[in-house]
Structure formats: structure tokens, C-alpha cells
């Protein structure tokens, strides 16, 4: 099971590699053995690769704050609509989350889009995924057409802000 989390404001790929006999997670590709430890007095700690790290957590809506080993981290799930954009800071690039090919194009250059609207549908290992607009705007260019292949993290489309009189955005 793979997740994209914001750890301290930076996106990180977190994948559960094994649950038994013990939990093994990969953070940005680096595997770690993790176990939750509970003291009789109610304190909590994690064992990460055999090293004990005490922690305290608090929630604020969809965000969670963790104090681990004297440092505070903000943790949150990345919105899948943002993840489809590959985490581009400007929100102008839509990147492929995995290698594959374009199955269909739902928009063309010049078309207005709203956040979350499908721009391209891709296929990788027989799994189809919709690549959506990370924000409102206009499709500036489609860099891959139906049937064309691409690599992981390759830019497949670009957006630009809408100008007065363009679409309804």
C-alpha cells in the first residue's frame, strides 16, 4: 500500500512493504522496521530500526502534528488531485505518477479546466489512472497523445492561468 504524505511540508512517498512478522515501511524508497511501543504509564514510542523514539501526537482537522525525538513534524495526506500533478510547486505541470501510455485525452490545448477535472487517462500494467488538473486554469499543452508512452515523473501536460474571457474559470 503506497501513500503520499507531507512530512514537514515536503512530499514523501511512504509504502507499506510488510505487515508480518513486523511492520516494514519504505520512506522515499528507504525501508525501515517500525513497531509501536506503549509504556505502562501511557507514554508512546516508536521503535524504528531498533531505535526507540518517544512521540506525542495531536490532530488539527486533516493534519497531524508529531513530536518525535524532540522535533515537531506536520504530517498530512497529499490530495490525490495534487498527486496526479506530480507535486509540481507551481501547479502548472502534470506529471505521470508511473511509466505507461496515454489511453485517452479528455481535454485539448486551450480548453478551460477546473481543479479535479480529468485531462488525460493513462494506463500502466493494465491499471488505468486519471490525471487531473491540480488547479483551475487552461490546458496550455498536451505533451503526450493517445498511444504515446512516457516514463515516471515525465511531464505529460501543462496548464496556464486563465485570462479574462477564456472559458468560465
pLDDT digits (tens, 9 = 90+) for 139-156: 999 999 999 999 988 999
* Residue 83, pLDDT score: 47
86: pLDDT strictly greater than 70: no
3-state secondary structure (DSSP) of residue 83: helix
Cell numbers that stand for 60 in this block:
488539527
46: pLDDT strictly greater than 80: yes
* Residue 23, pLDDT score: 92
Q: If you average pLDDT over each of 15-19, 107-111, 112-116, which comes out highest?
A: 107-111
Indicate whether 165 belongs to any domain: no
Residues 72 and 94 in one domain: no
pTM over the 0.85 mark: no
Indicate whether 37 belongs to any domain: yes
Q: Which is higher by pLDDT, 123 or 72?
A: 123
* Residue 112, pLDDT score: 95
159 class by beta-carbon count within 10 Å (0-12 exposed, 13-18 middle, 19+ buried): buried
Residues 139 and 118 in one domain: yes
Structural domain of residue 124, as residue ranges?
Answer: 90-160
Amino acid at each position: 500500500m503506497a501513500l503520499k504524505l507531507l512530512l514537514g511540508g515536503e512530499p514523501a512517498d511512504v509504502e507499506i512493504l510488510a505487515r508480518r512478522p513486523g511492520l516494514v515501511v519504505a520512506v522515499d524508497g528507504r525501508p525501515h522496521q517500525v513497531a509501536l511501543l506503549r509504556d505502562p504509564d501511557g507514554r508512546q514510542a516508536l521503535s524504528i530500526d531498533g531505535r526507540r523514539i518517544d512521540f506525542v501526537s495531536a490532530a488539527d482537522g486533516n493534519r497531524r502534528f508529531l513530536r518525535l525525538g524532540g522535533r515537531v513534524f506536520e504530517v498530512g495526506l497529499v490530495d490525490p488531485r495534487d498527486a496526479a500533478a506530480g507535486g509540481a510547486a507551481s501547479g502548472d505541470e502534470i506529471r505521470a505518477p508511473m511509466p505507461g501510455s496515454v489511453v485517452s485525452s479528455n481535454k485539448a490545448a486551450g480548453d478551460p479546466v477546473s481543479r479535479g477535472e480529468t485531462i488525460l487517462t493513462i494506463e500502466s500494467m493494465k491499471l488505468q489512472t486519471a490525471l487531473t488538473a491540480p488547479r483551475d486554469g487552461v490546458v496550455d499543452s498536451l505533451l503526450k497523445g493517445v498511444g504515446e508512452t512516457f516514463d515516471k515523473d515525465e511531464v505529460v501536460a501543462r496548464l496556464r492561468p486563465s485570462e479574462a474571457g477564456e472559458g468560465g474559470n
